[in-house]
Amino acid sequence: MDHGKKLSKETLLPSLLEDNDTTTKSEELQPEEQRASWTEVDMHMLKGQHSHPDGNMLDRGEGTGEARERAPREEECVISEENYDTDLELSDKEDAFDPTGQTCYLEACEKFKVVPASCFLKQMRNSELSMMHRGLGPQGTKAMAVPLVTNTSIVRLNLRDNWMEGMGGAAIAKMLKDNCYITEVDLSDNNLGDDGARAIAGMLMKNSILEKLNLSGNHFTDQSAEHFSPALITNTKLQHLDISYNALGEQAGQRLGYSLSENTGLRSLNLAWNCIQGSGAAALANGLGGNIFLRTVDLSFNGFGKEGAIALGQALKENVVLEELNVSNNRIPPEGAICLAMGLRVNKTIKSLNMGRNPIQNSGCYRLLKSVQENQHSAMESLDFSDITVNQDFEDLYAAVKEMFPVLTVNHRGRTGTFKEAKA
């Protein structure tokens, strides 16, 4: 028998999946040649029923009698569309070389007892793979990770909202350590937790290809930040990172602040909708002051308050590259806005500042706009004071600043009236 045909299951399944028990071989394949040949992993030998990640049971009983009676030939592996109902579209044609890993994926699905996803099979030759809201779960994610290890077509991977949890996140992380083609990954809303964060952080310390990573909405805590901190110092390739909508707190701010001061790769960072406040907010702001690569930072919906605003003001004095800063909804009082304005007075790079929905009142808005007027080297193009009411004095100042900086636009809730009207 040709030794080239004697490929074992261990050869088809990467080491990524070694932690699971191998599938029991069918008792109907008695000949020694059938057990030695890789065709013993014939996909029509799937069991009568498989469980879908959403809990539905799919009947696999039809057609198995004929498959068992027909002895498989050594030269082919029969993979029939009928065996997978409407969820799989394959032909009986044998591929001598499959760079997409379809055969490997089908065997992985059998191993982990999940239904092969036709949507995945259809996209395996595309440059972008989108599997949002598919309910893959941990097992389905592990099966998908197998062929992605060697896939050479996909460069953008979107697995948003599949509830893969820590186990599935670890499988994707291990795959990304070996894959040298994927540059963009979206793992948002997958309940990765701190265990998934540890696996992703370990991947970032070794991966030198990934440029964009979305980890929004994964229940990360301060413990996750402990894993990400050294990874952000080591990794120099990742340019865009989104960790918004998590539960990162004060300790996370301290750890990430130190990492940002040492990071040399990130160009944009999204930390919106977390719980960073107090000393953590100050430490994070200090880290931004020492960073010379970040262009866009979103810190909205945290709790920076006065302490964080004071640190941000100092950071704007030191930072010479930051262009966009969003600190809306951060409970910043007028005193904090005045301190932040001191940084704007000397900053030469910031183009967009969002201070909307902070209790800075008209006085805070006026002082921020005044600092732009006093900085002849200011690059400011957009000031956002959404839901903050201003008075006529602010409008008069804006008219004067507009003559100096024609491109400047200011957004606010509206004008209440002049001081004279208020006195009357």
For 354-396, write each residue's pLDDT tens digit. 999 999 999 999 999 999 999 999 999 999 999 999 999 999 9
The answer on pLDDT for 58 being more than 50 is: no
Does residue 345 form part of some domain? yes
C-alpha 291/C-alpha 289 separation (Å) is 6
N- to C-terminal Cα distance for the chain?
103
C-alpha 48/C-alpha 68 separation (Å) is 13
Segment 195-215 shows an average pLDDT of 97
**Beta 184-186 vs 128-130: how paired, if at all?**
unpaired
Q: What is the pLDDT of residue 93?
A: 43
Does residue 92 form part of some domain? no
The CATH number for 316's domain is 3.80.10.10
Q: In the chain, how many domains are there?
A: 1
Does residue 304 form part of some domain? yes
Q: Which long-range contacts (CB under 8 A, 24 or more apart) does 130-134 make?
A: 130/158, 131/158, 131/159, 131/162, 132/158, 132/159, 132/160, 132/161, 132/162, 133/160, 133/161, 133/162, 134/162
94-103, 254-263, 381-390: segment of lowest average pLDDT: 94-103
Does residue 157 form part of some domain? yes
pTM over 0.75, yes/no = yes
Q: Do residues 190 and 218 lie in contact, with contact meaning Cβ atoms separated by under 8 Å?
A: yes
**414 band by pLDDT with thresholds 50, 70 and 90:** confident
Segment 239-246 shows an average pLDDT of 98
C-alpha 85/C-alpha 88 separation (Å) is 7
CA 130, 170, 150, 120 dihedral sign is: negative
* Share above pLDDT 90 across residues of the chain, in percent, rounded to a whole number: 73
Does residue 369 form part of some domain? yes
Q: What is the pLDDT of residue 417?
A: 56
55-64, 141-150, 209-218, 312-321: segment of lowest average pLDDT: 55-64
Higher-confidence residue of 58 and 292: namely 292
Does residue 248 form part of some domain? yes
Does residue 202 form part of some domain? yes
Q: What is the pLDDT of residue 165?
A: 97
Domain that holds residue 155: 118-423
Does residue 64 form part of some domain? no
Q: What is the pLDDT of residue 1?
A: 44
